[in-house]
Structure 1
Amino acid sequence: MQVQVETFTVHKRFPLRISRGTTTGSTNIWLKVQQDGIEGWGEASPFSVGDRPQTTETLVAALNSFIPELEGLSPLDRQQIEAILQDSQLPSAARAALDLAFHDWLGKKVGLPLWRLWGLDHRRMVPISVTIGINTPEGAKARVEDWLNYLDVRVLKVKLGSPEGIEADREMFKAVQSTAPPDAVLYVDANGGWSLSDAVKMCDWLATLGVKYVEQPLAAEIALQQLPQLYDRSPLPIFVDESCFNSGDIPVLAGCVHGINIKLMKSGGLTEAWRMVHTAKALGLKVMFGCYSDSCLANSAASHLASVADYLDLDSHLNLIDDPFVGSTVKQGCLIPNDLPGLGVQKKSS
């Protein structure tokens, strides 16, 4: 098995501002696994949560140092590879790139798309949300209009947790709601930007406006201590993102949240994402899939598993002006994988 690591840079059509900062683009990793004349593709995108930043440089270095561990193995040797990965310190996004490439290779080997290999049903797919970053009320209105001109928008995720405080959040949310279609579904993601008292106030207020759920209202470093209090007080379902990386994080959260956000870069790929789905559902929790600055490659991978999710936030590639890949496409608001084998992702023709 041969493994190649390349980087590619993508730029956002519209910068995305959340409570922790603003992003305008990223340099991601395109990983290729080759064996028996078949090439499987994976992606790693950098992200930072708390004291666990995963930069492009650290991901590339980690992958290059790990590749010799795979010498003599095949993409079919998943149990052996899993054991090696468990003993390594490979960052989760680097594991995700490898895992996606192995899945892509397997699908191409047997000539089936992953969703078909897993026996999943597209008719169970829910629409994806599109994201409105923190902005002024006027800027938020303009961003909603941009999305409406670009896509059949059915669900909006509104980023709150503004450094200017919850009054700024309220003004921005009202601007979004006034511009969105009357039948649009609205979610809120605070990215840990609220205190407990502000979270209680905002959940009470947002519940009167028809919001479906609030994601990561409290910072990850205090969430475990304060989520039980919010859980008891909030009229809205509470989801967590930054507080939940993998299946091992879920049991302790089960009594104080209603759902989790699974991201391939956090989980380490589709293999662990499956474990998280089963763990969460066994504990009575809802599941959503999200993304970072992922291209169509990683989001297409997530779309193959998307029919088992209750909510989907896989819109990052739709905000890129120079995504090098094509794969799953949006139909009637849903991100639908195609019938090509593996991930169904191809390089755009130049």
Structure 2
Amino acid sequence: MQVYVETFTIHKRYALTISRGTHTDTTLAWVRIEQEGVEGWGEACPFSLSEDQHQSLEDILTGLEVTKGLLRRYSAWERQQVEERLRQEGIPSAARAAVDMALHDWMGKKLGMPLWQLWGLDRARIQPTTMTIGIASPQEAQQRALVWMKETQTQSFKIKLGSDQGLMADQNMLIAVQEVIPLGSLITVDANGAWTVEQSLSMSNWLAGQGVSYLEQPLNRGQEAGLITLWHESKLPIFVDESCLDSRDIPALTDRVHGINIKLMKCGGLSEALRMIHTAKSNGLQVMLGCYSNTALGNTAAAHLAPLVDYLDLDSHLNLVDDPFSGAILHNGCLVPTDQPGLGVTLSGVLG
């Protein structure tokens, strides 16, 4: 098989601020794998787990250049062998995710079936995706919530907290959002590792009283020992994102969290995401699917797994002014993959 790599830049309509910084645009790698006249697509998106742990575009492109040489000796049907080889070669997870995504897309197109159908999944089980509101002033957060509701009719929100102005600022922002969204809306909170154990416990108990469903990644990656205290004393379920990269991390978390956030870029693709889902579920953990600055290509790939999980946060492409791809359809707040073969993604714009 032949592998082609092209970079492109996307821009957010609204800048996204989390506890580690603000993001306005991202350059991704578009990966195309061709064999027997069929082309499969995937994407690799840079991401950061902490201030000193990240995968840059340069890391990803270097890994993909090595991958191009390696894959010439494999068939697109040999997905397991390819996955094992790329892991052995130390290829970054985001690059592996793009290749795995493209190979799944290729298989579906070759067989003329969408992935969800090949896996025997039920699209009626897909839960609404949350719409993310980044750290902002109370007034800005309210405006963002109103825009999301107008454009998507959503009643599910993910609120980013961890303001450098302290816990009172976080509380004021959350209260402001609650003033403008429908009563009974699903609200989740993600602190991106901004809090101490004491702050996390205080905020989790306060958030429980505000009707929040769960708290995601309150402590920084590397501070997993502190999660035990929260697991025992928090009134909210605790989910982790940065603390759980792939299925190998799950066993050590089963006595200290209630759920995990799976992202294709950090775990290495759809194949590993499936293993994570089954591993987590077999250990009594809940599962959510998340994203970084992915386009409709990456989020549609994840959406094919949506019938298997409890929560979704696949909204990054809805905040783009120049998404070059079209794929899964937002219907009643749910991101639903279509009947088209493979991922069901088409190129609808110009790669920038």
Question: Quick check: 182-191 or 112-121, which moved more?
Answer: 182-191
Task: Give deviations 1:216-253, integer Å, cap 9, x for gaps.
Answer: 0111121x110001111101000000000000000000
Deviations 1:294-324 (A, max 9, x none): 0000000000110101000000000000000
Match of 1:280 in 2: 280
Unaligned runs of 5+ in 1: none
Correspondence 1:319 to 2:327: no
Instruction: Give per-residue Cα distances to partners, 1:153-172, cap 9 Å, x unaligned.
Output: 12000000111110110000
Residue identity matched to 1:225: A
- 2:55 partner SS: coil
Contact 2:83/2:100, CA 8 A, preserved across alignment? no
| Match in the other structure for 1:255 | 255
Tell me how far apart the structure 2 counterparts of residues 29 and 86 of structure 1 sit (CA, whole Å).
Answer: 19
Give secondary structure in 2 for the equivalent of 1:17.
strand
State the SS of the aligned residue for 2:13. Answer: strand
Output the amino acid matched with 2:76. P
1:79 Cα deviation from its structure 2 partner: 2.8
The aligned residue for residue 156 of structure 1 is 157
1:208 partner letter:
G
Give deviations 1:82-119, integer Å, cap 9, x for gaps: 23123111110000000000000000010000000000
Q: Which one-letter code corresponds to 1:346 in the other structure?
A: T
Shift of 1:286: 0.1
Tell me the residue number matched to 1:30: 30
Name the residue aligned to 1:137.
138
* Partner Cα distance (2:133, 2:80) in 1: 41
Asked if residue 39 in structure 1 is aligned to residue 39 in structure 2, the reply is yes
Task: Give the superposition deviation at 1:349.
Answer: 5.2
TM-score where L is the length of structure 1 = 0.98
**TM norm structure 2:** 0.98
TM superposition shift of 1:81: 1.2
User: CA shift at 1:66, angstroms?
Assistant: 2.3
Alignment length, in residue pairs? 349
Which runs of no fewer than 5 residues in structure 2 stay unpaired? none
Q: Give the corresponding residue for 1:243.
A: 243
Residue 171 of structure 2: aligned partner? 170
Does the 8 A contact of 2:109 with 2:341 survive in 1? yes
> Deviation at 1:72?
2.3
CA distance in 2, matches of 1:247, 1:79: 16
The alignment yields a C-alpha RMSD, in angstroms, of: 0.9
Give me the whole-angstrom Cα distance separating, in 2, the residues matched to 1:63 and 1:277.
26
Instruction: State the shift of 1:212 in Å.
Output: 0.4
SS of 1:217's partner is coil
- Structure 2 matches for 1:177-326, cutoff 5 A? 177-222=178-223, 224-326=224-326
1:88 matched to 2:89? The reply is: yes
Identity %: 53
Deviation at 1:198, TM superposition (A): 0.7
